[in-house]
Amino acid sequence: MGDIIQVLPDHIANQIAAGEVVQRPASAVKELLENAIDAEADKIQLYIEDAGKSLIQVIDNGKGMSLTDARMAFERHATSKIRSTEDLFAIRSKGFRGEALASIAAIAKVDLKTKQTDEDLGTHLYIEGGKTVRQEPCQTPQGSIIRIQSLFYNVPARRKFLKSDKVELRHIYDEFERVAIAHPAIHFELHHNNNRVFHLPESTLRQRIVNVFGSKMNEKLVPVQEETDVVKVSGFVVKPEFAKKSKGEQFFFVNHRFIKSGFLHHAVKSAYDQLISADQHPAYFIFLELDPGFVDVNIHPTKTEVKFEDERTIHAILNSTVKKSLGQFNLKPSLDFDQDPDLVELQNRKPDRIVEPKIQVDPNYNPFQSKQEKPRYEHHAPPRPDKKALEQWDQIMQSSMNDESDTTTAFHAESKINFDDDVESSTEKLFIQLHRKYILTKLNSGYIILHQQRAHERVLYEKFREAYENTRATSQQLLFQQPIEMAPGDAETLSEHLSEIQRMGFDIEPFGANAFIVNGVPHGLQAGDLQQIFEKFVEQAQHSSENLQNDSAHTMALLLARSLSIKPGKRLERSEMINLAEQLFVCKSPAHSPTGKNTMITLDAEELDKRFQ
């Protein structure tokens, strides 16, 4: 039997390595941006076409490369950062993985122009499928200009598995944001299809976060800061009231390299105990600085996972630091970069001298005088209320105390509601809100309990679905236009679905870069906080991108229904409960929410009798 083991040709080996290193266009973007940072550039421009499938271009003003270095950069296992085994455990640079550029060149057409400061001419290289086609001197500014064209052009099977442009672009934005946030002192730009998406000049960390995620983020940030012998912690966490149901704006940086870490996330989230619900996730931008020898960044090919030498200590310090910051943010105001200086002066001004109150007494008062003999006081003695007024006041106070202390609100009043033949025919109708989450009402044969959020989701879903399919949605115009500002990536997601949102009754249109203006909402819908509504919609749309392609009508209606539905904890007036119940029982599928969960349960009298046997 003959030999069957053989050494792979270099071009096949590089294509295999490319599958490990370059999983999608965003992988190449990350490598090129990090190389530009390692080249000490202070201005980096990224140009993308067709979500990186046609073009990825990075322009930097860094140190540039010599002719020899430019050729060597595309050889496998070539690196400028590693000289010995010990260097692997003291890495401070970014893109040190030797085969990255070689892998990119193996599956794309690469055009590189680069020049060092002390050189008159630069170097121009053109590589196709890992083979150098052209090498010549050229005129080019200091730094490097690298163009990656037709990614995976020679690996059609790999290209076929790329997602839609929207999904791939979202991954590119993610990588860009991670690098940009980690290096606020560097000027970054991102252009997609000749449109500038990000323009991030040199700034502080807080400014950089706000420039990436929008001005609304500024009010949400709480600074964290702690320095110990083991680790230095800095950055920002977001106030508890802005926590989200899905993981989103969560950034850890170890020595300015973005990482993912479940145990670090646990340290932060546990600091929010009793401040947010178990299914919510806080946003954060946290930097950890420690000796590179105490952290291993080589346990994952993309360097996004690390292992700490003393994980327990890091966990404890991080948890304690976040807890302390959350405990202080509402007690001590923090100054931000765009705060009015007049407000700062007012905050720092010492309080006025406290004046001791003076008590005035009536020197002529005699408790032994009869009621008829007591003198009348014209203005400093309050009149005594009569008995009827006191009784009314007691009723008001008792009602107020019940509203605050008990989450159950009962309503007994007349109603013309008629859900079906089984509903009690009496004009006296019982409606009780339980725990500000459920609605209890009476049937002839027992009781029915509605889940208020699921019921409202069903009502809204069918309303939006009908409007979408029939294109007959009507809008009620707002008295005042409401502006909506989004982060660039979120604005693009909203723009992609703008026509569908308009089709469902929203009068919304673009209003400058990354902003929109809302003129009207679907008829009969309360406007509410439109900024929060559309932020929630975008968040859910980004996590349901594949479903949007398969059944746009269902998914769009579902996302809007979830965003606008009544949430648990909201106290409903009796009229609101009746209206919700009436709308639910005329739906096509009143018994289930759009996701198939029960909207109601029934308790008949016979079942109640059995419970008491």
Rounded Cα gap, residues 162 and 54, in angstroms:
13
Domains and CATH numbers, the chain: 10-202 (3.30.565.10), 212-328 (3.30.230.10), 409-613 (3.30.1370.100)
Is 35 or 407 the better-scoring residue by pLDDT?
35
Q: What is the DSSP string of 371-414?
A: TTTSPP-SSSSPPPPPHHHHHHHHHHHHHHHHHHH-S-EEEEEE
Query: Would you place residue 311 in the very low, low, confident or very high pLDDT band (cuts 50, 70, 90)?
Result: confident
Query: Cβ distance 519 to 477 under 8 Å?
Result: yes
User: Which residue in 140, 106, 98 sits closest to 19, CA to CA?
Assistant: 106
The pLDDT assigned to 158 comes to 84
At residue 175, the pLDDT reads 95
Mean pLDDT of 476-486: 88
Cα–Cα nearest to 179, from 381, 41, 14: 41
Q: Is the pLDDT of residue 408 over 60?
A: no
Whether residue 505 is predicted with pLDDT greater than 80 in this model: the reply is yes
- Does the pLDDT value for residue 374 go beyond 60? no
Cα distances from 292 to residues 85, 90, 184, 260, 304, in angstroms, run 14, 5, 21, 17, 15
The residue with greater pLDDT, 248 or 521, is 521
Q: Measure the CA–CA gap between 100 and 21, rounded to whole angstroms.
A: 6
Q: Is the pLDDT of residue 81 over 50?
A: yes
pLDDT at 92 over 60: no
Side chain identity at residue 247, one-letter code: K
Min mean pLDDT across 43-57, 114-128, 375-389 is at: 375-389
Top pLDDT among 215 and 254 is at 254
Rounded mean pLDDT of the chain?
Answer: 80
Q: What gap in Å lies between CA 292 and CA 422, rounded to an integer?
A: 72
Q: Tell me what the mean pLDDT of segment 480-495 comes to.
A: 86
The predicted model gives 289-303 an average pLDDT of: 73
Report the SS3 class of residue 74: coil
More confident residue, 354 or 198: 198
pLDDT tens, residue by residue, 142-195 = 999 999 999 999 988 888 889 888 889 989 999 999 999 999 999 999 999 998
546 or 241: which carries more pLDDT confidence?
241
Higher pLDDT, 129 or 21: 129
pLDDT at 300: 53
Quote the CA–CA distance of 399 and 206 in Å, as a whole number.
Answer: 46
CA distance 491 to 196: 13
**At CA 48, angle to CA 43 and CA 54, rounded to 5?**
140
Residues in the chain: 613
CA 224/CA 320 separation, integer angstroms: 10
Least trusted range by pLDDT, from 36-45, 244-253, 449-458, 545-554: 545-554
Q: How far apart are CA 586 and CA 564, in angstroms?
A: 20
For residue range 454-480, list pLDDT tens digits in order. Answer: 999 999 999 888 888 876 667 888 888
List, in order, residues 6 or more apart from 291 with CB less than 8 Å away.
Answer: none
- 192 close to 49: Cβ distance less than 8 angstroms: yes
Whether the pLDDT of residue 582 is over 80: the answer is yes
Q: Are strands 250-254 and 257-259 parallel, antiparallel or unpaired?
A: antiparallel
Who wins on pLDDT, 341 or 308?
308
pTM value surpassing 0.85 = no
Q: What is the pLDDT of residues 427-454, one digit of tens each?
A: 457 889 999 999 999 877 788 999 999 9
How far apart CA 557 and CA 569 sit, in angstroms, is 23
Tell me the pLDDT tens digit for each residue of 346-370.
Answer: 444 444 555 566 666 666 666 555 5
